[in-house]
Structure 1
Amino acid sequence: MTLHDHLTWKQTEPGRWEREIDEVEQCYTSLARTYAGSGRTLFAITGHISFSVAAGRLEDAIEALRNAWLRLRYDHPTLASWVEYDRGSQKCKKVYETFEKAGNSSAAQTAWLQETFRVVETEGLTGEQWCNDDPPVPKLPTLFVIKRDQSITTGGEMVAAADLVLRAHHDIIDGIGTLHLFDNLFRHASQVYENWPGLPSPAFGGEWVNLSPPLRVAASIPDSLTVEQKERFHRIIAHNAALRDGARLATVPFRPGEKIPKRHQRVALTLSPEQSHRLLVTCKTLGFSVTHVYHAAIALTVRDAQKRLAQDRQVRYISYSLINERAHCTQPFSTAQHAVSVYHSVSGQSMAIDLSVPAAASPPPTQVHARAEFMKVAEQVKAYYLEIRNDTEHIAMVPSYWTLSTLPYPPETPSVPQPNLAPSASISSMGVIDQIIRAHRGPFELTNPWVTGEELGTGLGLFLGTFKGQICLSAAYNDAWHDMDEVMGLVTRCNALVCQSLGV
């Protein structure tokens, strides 16, 4: 048996291809199954991007996008794959079926497009509002087009605008992959729009060669750890347990009572181009990344949300880091050619920051003290991120790290887990999105790209990204335990703390 033979795509019958899933895919598959009893999909991907074209050309643009979506199916056949549980082997596997398997390729293409490319009538909702209105998570990745009721004015010109929303299971695609997919989509759409009907349609049948492997294959990760790596892994487990043992945790307050998650929601704050520029320059001058300072602000803002008691006390903020691992993958898996993939990792060792909660009667801190505290925490966050970045063995350890968060896959639908009574707030950074998505593609002007994972717990997931020179900080939450004003307040306070501490 060759290395990772069980993770290699194999044809099991004419037109059907299968492979087993690796640790990162299994983690998301198992977590989604664990929450299946809620009727919702944990960590399901929501990808959003807005576009505008010349007034009166929206229908042409949508038709070009529909054609481009079909072309993406050829480039990224994993876009039409799904994960299913095999009761015989008691393992989960990823499955792809060609159009030819259905017997009539043309009819199968039409059926797939009707199923996965949907134009939605929203009665005036924008794409962002529609995303907060409990959109479905179909079996296959699906692109929803939300048309605006009226044209909008941009730069003195009337343009037609619409929003695209991708909904997909997280064991099929991740956040950075979603952004790459959007760029590939508009690359094709602009070519179709400008050359229609001259472009030949893709010849389906051999597209299976483009199926994406899992991270373990893409990054050539060995099947097992070395003896030294195993010892290190067990030390990390012990270290993470010790961080929580007897510690007072800094937790996110939530509204008790509900046992079952409700709607995933998102709020966002976008900085002006001027403030974004000042912040980026200041961070660079101080040796921080934007992620460092916002993660530090999250820790301090969660600390500030703790109840004040008669005496001051120490609390511990515990978090982690999500890392895009495409740079560790070999060609072509490191590129946008394999956008529909789950090529990221989670840090193994937890980040722990000890903070003081002042007594109820304590006066507010001075500006000097507050800035000094912020800088100290930002340095701790920076050191944590750099330790991961400089860890030459990190990629080899990644599959083992994922197993720490993976639950056994339940063949039958289980009861929904009880709410976490000690939730935290994490951050996922998309970085400079302009490095992934071109803001202008032929007739398409693109704005407001973002991604979230479906939040079904009591915690908060924050997201950070920069596009067209504007920083956007957003937060995902579940409205069973949080409301919009509360979460927007936390996002606003995080941003204010960053700007005040850095003098921007």
Structure 2
Amino acid sequence: MNMNWTQISPTRWERPLSGMEEYFVFIGNITAALYDGRQQYTVLSKVKVTLNIPDVESALRHAWKQVRYEEPDIATTVEPGKKIFEVLDDTSIEKWVDETFIIDTQRDAEELYRIGRTMKPATLYYLPKSSELVIHGHHAVFDGIGMIMFWDRFFRAVTSPNYDINFGGEHVRLAPALNELVGLKGPATQEQSDKGLAVLMEYITKLPAIGFPSKVGKVPAGQCQAMEYVFDEESTSAIIKACKARGVTVTSAVHAAYITVLSKYADPDSNTTRYASPNEFNLRGRLEEPYNKVAAANYYLPLPFSVDLPATFDELSTALNKYYRGYLNQHPEVLDVQASFTQALQQVVKTPEYQSAPIPTDALVSSLGVVENHLQHSYGGRDAVVVVEDWKLACDNVLGMTGFHFYTFRGKLRFVYQFNEAYQEAKDIRLYMEEMERVLRGELVGK
């Protein structure tokens, strides 16, 4: 690996930000200045685990250190325009572990998430009270799929510890920027820049669009909440079976149910005749090994989707299915212009016009698919040294742009809606998710 990383000093390596990284750094810095250091989009993932380990704290501490050795990007930090990695020796690595591996005997993961925190390097928390582990990091370092993959790498380190580690040369394993991996070796051509801007304008020109009622911009930010809604196995199985029979993905069906509910409960002052959103595409499946296996990376691309409203569930799910399944195959040139697209996005969000415009109050919708594609139920063979009982992902929400993640794990479809308690009420968010289940049942299962 190590493409486009440059050695700045004997211990410091840097590379330019790429893809969505610069957007997340810019938005994070703006919100940190406004909200006591808290940043929009910092990412938190928790696992509830059973650990059959004699010395749990020692094993977890070593695994955290081992993962840094194997995948050094977890220790990168970000500044405007660049990502930074500091090479540590065997002495200074212990100081890094002391600072980034935290044992919290007082809180559980939900409490940890809601109190928020200022940004610092990726940090691992062990919460013995609730038997949970939490990883918290900058979105420029981790994306959603990467957060799942991190736990797989971590638990493999727990169950197969490597004590023959010598720090100092792991910079050779730093992951390349997305631009490099899709073949962009130099500055974008004018044609690529024009196409990238055109893709962005497909979204920008559709705004403002439909949104939920929200007090964003009218009251100070409050605590973050990531409300979870879990289907039972029977309902999940029936929904998946019905989606297959219809020839649509579960992602398309859930997204269609979300738009249906958004239309029903929309703020009447929003533009209720159009839905516009950046749909998210995981690019790891399009990357060669070993890059498709990197956890600490931002290897996804948001692309604009819009539809006129009102629309039926069938119309929405069909349009979304066509978009999710076919867009990248029908428009492979998008990968060539993704750098120009994200650069155009960064330029637009820095303009006074964009920053003074109303904040979208619909959710950024993100499907993480089947968690088991990247994370096992247990590690350590027949002895099951580690059993993963539950997994959850959430992003900090201080700016008002909410998040809606969904995925299946252990046979259950799970919704996670992230919002700020000052802007929206928990009872309303719960209602939206209940309504989404009713839509899915009524449209797909018939009950």
Same fold (TM over 0.5): yes
Equivalent residue, structure 2, for 1:502: 444
Q: Does 1:490 align with 2:428?
A: no
How far 1:225 moved relative to its partner?
5.0
How far does the alpha carbon of each residue in 1:473-495 deviate from its partner, in whole angstroms, 9 at most, with x for none?
11011122012111121122112
Counterpart position of 1:302: 262
Aligned-pair distance for 1:172?
1.5
**Map of 1:191 onto structure 2:** 160
- Please tell me whether residue 145 in structure 1 is matched to residue 132 in structure 2: no
- Which residue of 2 is the match for residue 430 of structure 1? 368
Q: In 2, Cα distance between the equivalents of 1:242 and 1:418?
A: 16
Which residue does 1:154 correspond to in 2? none
Is 1:267 aligned with 2:262?
no
- Compare CA radii of gyration and give the structure with the larger one: 1
SS in 2 for 1:26: helix
1:114-137 CA-partner distances (Å, limit 9, x unpaired): 111101022xx4323432232x24
Distance 2:148 2:388 in 1: 12
Q: 1:8 aligns with which of 4, 9, 28?
A: 4
Match for 1:69: what amino acid? W
Q: Note closer, same or farther for the CA distance 1:429–1:227 as it changes in structure 2 (3 Å cut).
A: same
1:112 aligns with 2:63: no
Shift of 1:421: 5.0
Deviation at 1:178, TM superposition (A): 1.4
Instruction: Report what 1:353 is aligned to.
Output: 307
The aligned counterpart of 2:112 is 130
Residues 27 and 407, structure 1, Cα contact 8 Å, conserved in 2? no
Alignment of 1:470-489 (within 5 A): 470-489=412-431
Q: Which amino acid aligns with 1:436?
A: H
**Alignment match of 1:316 (pick from 269, 274, 282):** 274
Check the 8 A contact 1:183/1:437 in 2, yes or no. yes
1:67 pairs, out of 62, 69, 86, with: 62
Please give the alpha-carbon distance, in whole angstroms, between the structure 2 residues aligned to 1:333 and 1:459.
Answer: 30
The Cα shift of 1:138 comes to 4.1
Percent of aligned positions that are identical: 23
How far, CA to CA, are the matches of 1:408 and 1:231 in structure 2? 14
Q: Which residue of 1 aligns with 2:25?
A: 29
Deviation of 1:241 (Å) = 4.8
1:341 is the counterpart of 2:297: yes
Alignment of 1:457-476 (within 5 A): 457-476=399-418
Conserved 8 A contact 2:368-2:407: yes
1:274-315, Cα deviation, whole Å (9 max, x unpaired): 211111111111111111011111111111013679xxx962
Instruction: Tell me the residue number matched to 1:216.
Output: 179
Q: Which ranges of structure 2 fall in alignment gaps of 5 or more residues?
A: none
**Root mean square deviation, CA, Å:** 2.7
Q: Give how far 1:418 is off.
A: 6.1
Counterpart CA distance in 1 for 2:39 and 2:369 is: 26
1:175·1:451 contact (CA, 8 Å) conserved in 2?
yes
The equivalent of 1:17 in structure 2 is 13
Asked if 1:97 corresponds to 2:86, the answer is: yes
Output the amino acid matched with 1:498.
Answer: L
Contact 2:216 2:400 in 1 (8 A): no
Alignment pair present for 1:165 and 2:134: yes
Could you tell me how far apart the structure 1 residues matched to 2:187 and 2:282 are?
Answer: 22
Contact 2:210 2:272 in 1 (8 A): no
TM-score using structure 2 length: 0.89
Gap change, CA 1:93 and 1:235, over 3 Å in 2:
closer
Question: Does the Cα contact within 8 Å between 1:65 and 1:189 map onto a contact in 2?
Answer: yes
Cα 1:219/1:235, change in 2 over 3 Å: closer
**How far does the alpha carbon of each residue in 1:31-81 deviate from its partner, in whole angstroms, 9 at most, with x for none?**
111212112111101111111134xx5x62332111100001101112111
**CA apart distance, 1:209:** 0.7
Q: CA deviation at 1:407?
A: 4.7
Contact 1:259 1:419 in 2 (8 A): no
Moved more, 297-306 or 456-465: 456-465
Taking structure 1 as reference, are residues 83 and 314 closer, same or farther at Cα in structure 2, changes over 3 Å only? Answer: closer
Specify the code of the residue in structure 2 equivalent to 1:45.
Answer: V
1:50 aligns to what? 48
> What secondary structure does 1:269 align onto?
strand
Whole-angstrom CA distance in 2 between matches of 1:409 and 1:346: 15
> CA separation in 2, counterparts of 1:329 and 1:491?
34
The answer on whether the counterparts of 2:366 and 2:404 sit within 8 Å (CA) in structure 1 is yes
Distance 1:213 1:423, change over 3 A: same
**For the structure 1 residues 10 and 230, does the alpha-carbon distance in structure 2 shift closer, same or farther, using more than 3 Å as the test?**
closer
Corresponding residue for residue 405 of structure 1 = 345
Partner of 2:319: 380
CA distance in 1, matches of 2:394, 2:230: 16
Q: CA separation of 1:235/1:191 partners in 2, compared to 1, >3 Å: closer, same or farther?
A: closer
* Structure-1 separation of matches of 2:226 and 2:260: 21
Partner residue in 2 for 1:195: none
Letter in 2 for 1:63: S
The answer to whether the 8 A contact 2:200-2:345 is kept is no
CA distance in 2, matches of 1:236, 1:417: 20
Equivalent of 1:450, from 392, 401, 405?
392
Report SS of the residue matched to 1:13.
coil
Letter of the aligned partner of 1:323 in structure 2?
Answer: F
Aligned residues of 1:71 and 1:201 also touching (Cα < 8 A):
no
Letter in 2 for 1:439: H
Q: Does the CA-based 8 Å contact 1:49-1:163 persist in structure 2?
A: yes
Structure 1 residues without counterparts, runs of 5 or longer: 86-91, 149-160, 193-198, 357-371
Q: Please name the residue that 1:200 is paired with.
A: 163
| Cα distance change on mapping 1:303 and 1:404 into 2, 3 Å | farther
Per-residue CA distance 1:136-170 (angstroms, 9 max, x = gap):
2442100011112xxxxxxxxxxxx6111111111
Contact 1:46 1:452 in 2 (8 A): yes
Q: Which residue of 1 aligns with 2:151?
A: 182
Query: Could you tell me how far 1:257 is from its partner in structure 2?
Result: 6.3
Q: Aligned residue for 1:327?
A: 285
Q: In the aligned structure 2, how far is the partner of 1:274 from the partner of 1:221? A: 46
Number of residue pairs matched by the alignment: 435
CA offsets 1:307-339 (integer angstroms, 9 cap, x no match): 679xxx96211112111111222321112xx21
